[in-house]
Amino acid sequence: MKSLILIGFFAVSGMFAAFYPQVSFEEKESMILDAVVRFLDAYHFSPESINDQFSEKAYDLYIDYLDGGKRFFTEGELAELKPYKTQIDDQINLRTTGFFGLSMDKLELAHARAKVIFEKVINEDLNLSTDLSYETDSDKRSFATDDKELEMVWRNMLTYDLIDRVNNKVQAQQDSTTQKPVAELQIKAKEEMEESYERWFERIEKTRRSDYFETYLNTMTHVFDPHSDYFNPKEKEDFDIRMGGKLEGIGARLTVDGDFTKVSEVIPGGPAWKGKELEVNDLILNARQDDEETAVDFTGMRLDDVVQHIRGKKGTIVHLNVKKTDGSTTTIIIERDEVIIDEGFAKSLILDIPGSIENIGYIKLPRFYDSFEGKVGNSCAKDVAAEVEKLKENQVGGIILDLRNNGGGSLRDVVTMSGLFIEKGPIVQVKPRDRPAYVYDDTDKNVQYDGPLIVMVNQFSASASEILAAALQDYDRAVIVGSKSTFGKGTVQRFVNLDEAFKGDDKFKPLGNLKITMQKFYRINGGSTQLKGVIPDIILPDNYHYIDTGEKDYEFPLEWSEIQAVDHTQDVFIVDNMSALKANSEARIAADENFQLIMENAQRFKDLREESQYPLDLDGFSSLMDQREEEAKKFEDLFDVDIENLTVRNLPQDNEKFTSDESKKARNDEWVENVNKDFYLEETMYIMKDLMKK
C-alpha cells in the first residue's frame, strides 16, 4: 500500500508539472495556494466542492481566526469584507489572493486603531464601581458597530481585566501581616496590565504576513476537516522533533523576555548541560556560527527566528553571547549534538496496595512517538516492549497501560504495540477514499505479555491511543477504563511536500508541507472511532463528565461511519467477567468520597462554563469570586493528597540511572509523587484485583 501511495503521489506531481510546464507565479502565496488546493482535491479522504457554500464556511472561520475576541474589527469593516463571503471559492479557483490581501490591510489598520484606543483608555481613571457587566464569551457578543462602540468594548474589557487583577492582589495579601490599601494595589495592577498589553501589541507587530497567510490556508484546510493543516518548513521540523523525541542542537529551551531571549530550561544530557556554562535565566544576546565572522543580534527578534540561528547540525559550533543574572556578559562556545527529549518516553513503575493487591506493573505512555520519514530513531513500540520485559522480570501479576492524555502519533507503532498482547491478527482497518479498506495486521506470533491487562484512557486519549484501546477491547484482551469516551479522532493524516507540485522555480522553495487527512481508520468490529471515540468498559467520572469535549467540539469534523467487520480471535487472555468488574467498580465509586466529589465538581464546571458575564464593579466581582472560591474549597485538595494504601516504587533495573543523574532523579521523584496521589489509579488497581480472580 505504501508503494501504491507513492506511485499515486508522483503521478499527481507529474500531472501538476504537465498542467503547468512553465509555471511562473508572481507571488509565493499564489504558488502555495495552488499546491494546497490541488493536493487536497487529489488526496483528501472526503474532498469538498469549492463552491459558494465552501466559501461561506471558510469566510466565517477566517474572520473568527483573525478576531475571535471581537476586539479589532467593526461591523463597518466587516461589511467591506462581506462581499467576499461567496467569492473565496472564485479566488481559490483563480489562484488569486485578493481577499486575503484586503483582509490584511483591514487587520493592520484595526490593530493600529486598537493600540491607539488602548493607549487612550489605559491613561484614564478606570471606574471600578459601575452597574455594567462584561461578557467574557465572545460568541455571545456582537462586533462593535463603529469606532465609538469599539472604544467602549475596550474600556469594558480593560476594566474587567483590572478588576480581576486587583481582586487577585487583595486575595493574595489576606494572610499577609502588611495590608496595602486597595488604591495602592490598583495602581500596581494597572502598571502590570499596561506592561502586559504593550508586550501583546509588540507580539502582534512582529507577526508576519506569512503567519497570517498560513492562517488563511488553514481556514480552507479546516473546512475539509480539523486535522488537515499547512506546515511551513520550520513547523514541519518542529513536528518531526516532537514525534521523534530528539533533535540536533545545544539542548536548551528558550522563551521571550521582553526584547530578549531567555533560557527557560537546560535539557539534561544535552551539550549545554554537559558544558555547565549556560544556565536557566541567562539572556542570549546574539550568536555567531563558527564559520562566520559576524554575530546575529537577537534583540527584538521573534523566538522562532532565534531558534533557527541556534539550532544546527551535530558537530557544528555556535558562539553565544550571554548576559548572566548578575549582569555580567560572557561568550559560551557549544558544539551541537543530538539531544534526547525524554519527558514523553515510555516509563514504568510497580504498584502495591499492601494486603489487597501487590506487584502490579504500571506503564505510562505520554504519546506514540516515532522517528518519521524512514529515519532511525526512537520507537514507542520498542520502548513499551522493553518496559514490559522489565516488568516480567519482576514477576508482576498484571499490567496497567496508561494512555490518558495521549494524543496519538505513529500508526506503525500502535500496530506493533498492540501485537505485544495477542498472538497475531488484525489490529485496525484503514480505508482510503474510493477504495476498500485494508487491514493492518500483527504478524508476529509471539506474545510478549499474556497476563491480565488494563488500558487507562480519558477524553484526551486520541488517534493511535484509540486504535490500541479499540483493538484490545474488540479482542476482549483488556479492560478499558476511563472517562465516558475517548477523543473521537478516527482519521489518518499523511504529509506531502508542496515542492513536489512544481518543477523548477526554486527561488520560491521550500514551500512547506501539507498534512492531509487521507484515510479513516475503523475498528476490527467495523465501527469507527470518529466522533464517538472508544467507550470504556468501566467509566470513571471526571471533571468533564457533563461537558462535550474532543472531536465533536471541532468545526467541520468528518462524520461517523462503519464498514464490514473482519474476523478476529485470540486465545491469550479473555476478559470474561466484565459484568462483575463493572458492578464491583460502580459500587466502589458510589461509596468513594473522591468520586462523588468529582461528580459534584463536574456539575460545577458545567455551570461555570455557562456563566460568562461578570460585574464591572470591584465589590460585586469580589463577592462573586469569594462565593466561587468558597464553593471550590471542597475540591481544592482532591488531586493533591497521597493515597495512603497505595505504594509506588521504581523498578530495580532503573535505579542506577537515577543515582547517576540528579536531574533525572528529580523528575522521577516528582512523577512518583504524582502517581501516589492518583485515586483513578487506585480504583484501577481494585479492578485489576477483580480481573485476576477470574
State the pLDDT confidence band at 19, using cuts at 50, 70 and 90: very low
On whether residue 87 sits in a domain, the answer given is yes
Do 313 and 185 lie in a common domain? no
On whether residue 369 sits in a domain, the answer given is yes
**Is the pLDDT at 159 greater than 60, yes or no?**
yes
Per-residue HEC secondary structure of 85-110 comes to HHCHHHHHHHCCCHHHHHHHHHHHHH
Q: What is the mean pLDDT of the chain?
A: 88
Do 324 and 382 lie in a common domain? no
- Give the least confident one: 316-325, 452-461, 503-512: 503-512
Residue that is last in its domain, among 313, 340, 367: 340
Q: Report how many domains make up the chain.
A: 3
Tracing cell 469549492 back to the chain, one arrives at 50
On whether residue 231 sits in a domain, the answer given is no
Q: What are phi and psi of 289, to 5 degrees?
A: -75, 155
Give the model confidence (pLDDT) of 557-581 as tens digits: 999 999 999 999 999 999 999 999 9
Q: What is the pLDDT of residue 268?
A: 67
**Computed over its alpha carbons, how large is the radius of gyration of the chain?**
28
Q: What is the pLDDT of residue 10?
A: 41
Q: What is the pLDDT of residue 693?
A: 87
Per-residue HEC secondary structure of 631-653 comes to HHHCCCCCCCCCCCCCEEECCHH
User: Is the Cα torsion angle 443, 444, 450, 452 positive or negative in sign?
Assistant: negative
**Is the pLDDT at 358 greater than 60, yes or no?**
yes
pTM > 0.85: no
Share of the chain above pLDDT 90, in %: 62
Do 483 and 569 lie in a common domain? yes
Share of the chain above pLDDT 70, in %: 91
Helix residue ranges per DSSP H, 329-486: 380-393, 411-418, 464-474
Q: What is the pLDDT of residue 23?
A: 41
Do 663 and 532 lie in a common domain? yes
Beta bridge partners of 647: 352
Q: What is the pLDDT of residue 619?
A: 95
On whether residue 25 sits in a domain, the answer given is no
Do 304 and 357 lie in a common domain? no
Helix residue ranges per DSSP H, 549-612: 578-591, 593-610
Residue that is last in its domain, among 291, 321, 340: 340
Average pLDDT over residues 663-675: 85
Give the model confidence (pLDDT) of 462-490 as tens digits: 999 999 999 999 999 999 999 999 999 99
Beta bridge partners of 69: none
For the record, the C-alpha cell of 299 comes out as 534583540
On whether residue 606 sits in a domain, the answer given is no
Do 529 and 555 lie in a common domain? yes
On whether residue 396 sits in a domain, the answer given is yes
Q: What is the pLDDT of residue 22?
A: 40
Q: What is the pLDDT of residue 245?
A: 53
Give the model confidence (pLDDT) of 237-277 as tens digits: 666 655 555 567 888 888 877 667 888 878 766 788 888 88
Residue that is last in its domain, among 281, 315, 340: 340
For the record, the C-alpha cell of 148 comes out as 465609538
Give the model confidence (pLDDT) of 676-693 as tens digits: 999 999 999 999 999 998
Do 464 and 364 lie in a common domain? yes
**30-to-33, 91, 210 alpha-carbon distances in Å:** 5, 10, 12
Helix residue ranges per DSSP H, 207-313: 209-224, 233-244, 271-275, 303-310
State the pLDDT confidence band at 505, using cuts at 50, 70 and 90: low
Average pLDDT over residues 388-393: 97
Tracing cell 518543477 back to the chain, one arrives at 503
For the record, the C-alpha cell of 154 comes out as 475596550
Q: What is the pLDDT of residue 240?
A: 65
CATH of the domain at 267: 2.30.42.10
H or E element at residue 6: helix 2-19
Q: What is the pLDDT of residue 239?
A: 67
Do 393 and 477 lie in a common domain? yes
Alpha carbon distance 152, 158 (integer Å) = 10
Average pLDDT over residues 621-633: 91
Do 551 and 684 lie in a common domain? yes
Task: Give the closest residue to 369 by CA, choosing from 405, 315, 414.
Answer: 414
Give the model confidence (pLDDT) of 145-156 as tens digits: 999 999 999 999
Answer yes or no: are the C-beta atoms of 479 and 691 closer than 8 Å.
yes
Q: What is the pLDDT of residue 44?
A: 97
Q: What is the pLDDT of residue 238?
A: 66
State the pLDDT confidence band at 4, using cuts at 50, 70 and 90: very low
On whether residue 256 sits in a domain, the answer given is yes
Give the model confidence (pLDDT) of 431-443 as tens digits: 999 999 999 999 9
Answer yes or no: are the C-beta atoms of 306 and 254 closer than 8 Å.
yes
On whether residue 183 sits in a domain, the answer given is yes
Do 418 and 469 lie in a common domain? yes
Answer yes or no: are the C-beta atoms of 455 and 401 closer than 8 Å.
yes
Answer yes or no: are the C-beta atoms of 155 and 118 closer than 8 Å.
no
**Is the pLDDT at 668 greater than 90, yes or no?**
no
Per-residue HEC secondary structure of 246-264 comes to EEEECCEEEEEECCEEEEE
Average pLDDT over residues 177-199: 90
Do 180 and 220 lie in a common domain? yes
Specify the length of the chain in residues. Answer: 694
Answer yes or no: are the C-beta atoms of 363 and 404 closer than 8 Å.
no
Alpha carbon distance 187, 165 (integer Å) = 11
- Which residues span the domain enclosing 291? 246-340
Answer yes or no: are the C-beta atoms of 39 and 496 closer than 8 Å.
yes
CATH of the domain at 531: 3.90.226.10
Do 324 and 386 lie in a common domain? no
**Is the pLDDT at 16 greater than 50, yes or no?**
no
